[in-house]
Structure 1
């Protein structure tokens, strides 16, 4: 969709949401659906061009702790219902997620994860290397100890999700102020009172930070520590493949973080570069592909020399323990935040939209998200770090 570019923004709002990615769009939709009418989403560029801009996003409930499993499971259900609510085709493909494991310690950890996931109605299971290869013919079994698979996971198109939520929010009266930068935030006592933007000030009753990789800057405007750092992640696309690519799970080599899955008439490749420095640069560098090819030679040899026809670079919003920051500021009760998802924001966006809606309306969310408070880093109560994979 084409969102409005504002010369001026509304002078007042009940809620200002900073960030027009999948998280901001989900929050706006859920608030508007609940009857909140005077909402402004402020986005520095186009909708969904930050961390949400990736061409294909994984959706899964395979996590190692109950809270992330709940957020993933609830979001999977919402994505399945997306054609009806809010009403958009997001190209959801339930191909499953397949984690390839090459040592006993990994296998033991994933076995414990499967037990927990099953107790929360996630149909994941441990499988043999041979079954993993049947599911994904590209996977090599040399050195493979086991694999973990959940058939209800898959992938969808983040851009379609952002615009699906945004269209529904706009129909309900939400103002989408794109190409509008936040330049400051006013406070009085223990309250946020207004947001300054490049197109004018907005007096407001509540501010919600959903600014992704830029969230630390927003928090600093009001003296709140949101420990989020921007880290570039890259991916590439193969040329169209003949014969056609088989339909495979979203497949991840857990040791290297190399992953691959279907993308139109070819494959998409990705890998987290462990040497990547923090920063906002999103220049795609084809040299990065050698890291993927090195991992592929060990785990999926048939992919190592496939020709690629371009790629993409975007930003992860990473926290110290790779878990999200969701909550309400203790110092400024009308400042809320949902950020730092460390690669999991897209797959958790529907559930987090519900949670933030309820926090904003002072209702009890469907689950206790207090472990994800930003305050945990001040009190050494971090939840178990999540593996840094897609």
Structure 2
């Protein structure tokens, strides 16, 4: 792949400039190049996948509460299953299923409605009782457990391998990847972007696509487009190798607390969304949050509470006011497209979103109506129901 180390200046012109070389940017580049679009430059300020996509393991699921997110998840799941053939890479997909643990009657009632919607769209999720939840995940305590939901076709994969798989295929099709290249300004004339300025030189271009994740609000500001995305740090931790080895378990989530755990190499991975985490771009890993996880584990999965951890990882969620993505073409700047603000769901929706952005660029009708995900919804008052904020 080309990188900024290969040239002192970026290409001076491009048909398409994609800002952000994470899973969303590389998926978009792959799908555009596969459709025959040429002269694509992906501008990434660090290494590919160094932002939110750097997460060691990413969940993949079609288990959502609304049809649009279910369809984005389902289509992406199928693409991840096909990834060894198209674009052609092993992403270590492990279809272990998702298991949501529910501790109130209201949660159970809400999830029962969601399961009905999912089943109607071909997702084989089902409600299960506490004893079956424990059978599926032996770490789970049934004490206080009202019900659970199991979705057997979900699982997890490696985001870094997905980014590289898309990027290598896109590079083979002629896409230029300008890594270690920062966007410093964007020129517009009338209702169109004309030039993207970088610290390696300007790129005159016909279209700009923002896939800059947690940094998207600034790219929007440079263009005059409101993209209400804020960065929130999320952290996870790895246990020491377990002896005997951990059983193969679903991606297991205590819904009330957002605490989750699943297999990772020769141990387990722990995570939790700290509700008191302030906004910001700091990605320092600070293990204090683990006490929140251990407090939950003591009653929900007691064996986990005292497991030794050996380091972890911190990254950024790109959060919107209603925890749903921003996907569309700007009404004010007509050659500016965006796919951002996935609020923790970007990796699992990236293949489908790459298709959608390709279709928006080519003026084709996407496989699903993404009008509700327009960034304009926050100025017109048409927010959609917030999606449950879990991994």
TM over 0.5: yes
**Unpaired segments of 5 or more residues in structure 2?**
none
Q: In the alignment, is the contact (CA less than 8 A) between 2:4 and 2:181 conserved in 1? A: no
Tell me how far apart the structure 2 counterparts of residues 136 and 95 of structure 1 sit (CA, whole Å): 11
CA positional deviation for 1:2: 8.4
Q: Is the 8 A contact 1:328 1:337 kept in 2?
A: yes
Residue 230 (1) aligns with residue 220 (2): no
Partner of 1:177: 178
State the alpha-carbon separation in 1 of the partners of residues 153 and 61 from structure 2.
8
**1:317 is aligned to 2:318:** yes
- For normalisation by structure 2, the TM-score amounts to 0.99
Corresponding residue of 2:72: 71
CA apart distance, 1:326: 0.1
Q: Aligned partners of 2:247, 2:3: CA distance in 1, in Å?
A: 37
Q: Report the counterpart of residue 355 of structure 2 in structure 1.
A: 354
- How far the C-alpha of 1:4 sits from its partner, in A, is 4.6
Q: What RMSD, in angstroms, separates the aligned Cα atoms of the two structures?
A: 0.8
| Residues 1:285 and 2:286 aligned together | yes
Distance in 2 separating the partners of 1:206 and 1:97:
38
Deviations 1:43-99 (A, max 9, x none): 000000100000000000000000000000000000000000000000000000000
Question: Helix, strand or coil: the match of 2:156?
Answer: strand
Size of the aligned set, in residue pairs, is 390
8 A contact 1:59–1:156 mirrored in 2: yes
Q: Deviations over 1:175-219 (max 9, x none)?
A: 000000000101001111010001000000000000000000000
TM-score, L = length of structure 1: 0.99
State the shift of 1:147 in Å. Answer: 0.3
Contact kept, 8 Å, 2:193 with 2:206, in 1: the verdict is yes
1:139-288 → structure 2 map (5 Å cutoff):
139-288=140-289
1:334 aligns with 335
Q: Is the 8 A contact 2:233 2:316 kept in 1?
A: yes
Q: Give the distance between the partners of 2:380 and 2:241, measured in 1 at CA.
A: 51
Q: Which runs of 4+ in 1 moved over 4 A?
A: 1-4
Q: Paired residue for 1:380?
A: 381
| Contact 1:3/1:47 (8 A) holds in 2 | no
C-alpha distance in 2 between matches for 1:320 and 1:34:
33
Structure 2 counterpart SS, 1:15: strand
Match of 2:134 in 1: 133
Distance in 1 (CA, whole Å) between partners of 2:2 and 2:246 is 33
For the 8 Å contact 1:40–1:175, the answer to whether it is kept is yes
Cα deviations across residues 342-376 of structure 1 (Å, max 9, x unaligned)?
00000000000000000011111011000000000
Segment of structure 1 superposing worse, 322-331 or 1-10: 1-10
Conservation of the 8 A alpha-carbon contact between 1:3 and 1:46: no
8 Å contact kept, 1:54–1:158: yes
User: Contact 2:90/2:161 (CA < 8 Å) preserved in 1?
Assistant: yes
Q: Take 2:365 and 2:152, find their aligned partners in 1: how far apart are those partners?
A: 31
Deviates more, 1:5-14 or 1:253-262: 5-14
What whole-Å deviation, never above 9, does each CA across 1:15-67 have from its counterpart, x for those lacking one?
00000000000000000000001000000000001000000000000000000
Q: Name the SS for the 1:25 alignment partner.
A: helix
Instruction: Measure how far apart 1:287 and its partner are.
Output: 1.2
Q: Are the counterparts in 1 of residues 2 and 177 from structure 2 also a CA contact under 8 Å?
A: no
**CA distance in structure 2 between the aligned counterparts of 1:116 and 1:3, rounded to whole angstroms:** 44
CA deviation map 1:312-353 (0-9, x unaligned): 000000000000000000001100000000000000000000
Q: What residue ranges of structure 1 are gaps of 5+ in the alignment?
A: none
For 1:262 and 1:287, the matched residues in 2 are separated by 22
Which residue of the partner structure matches residue 304 of structure 1?
A: 305
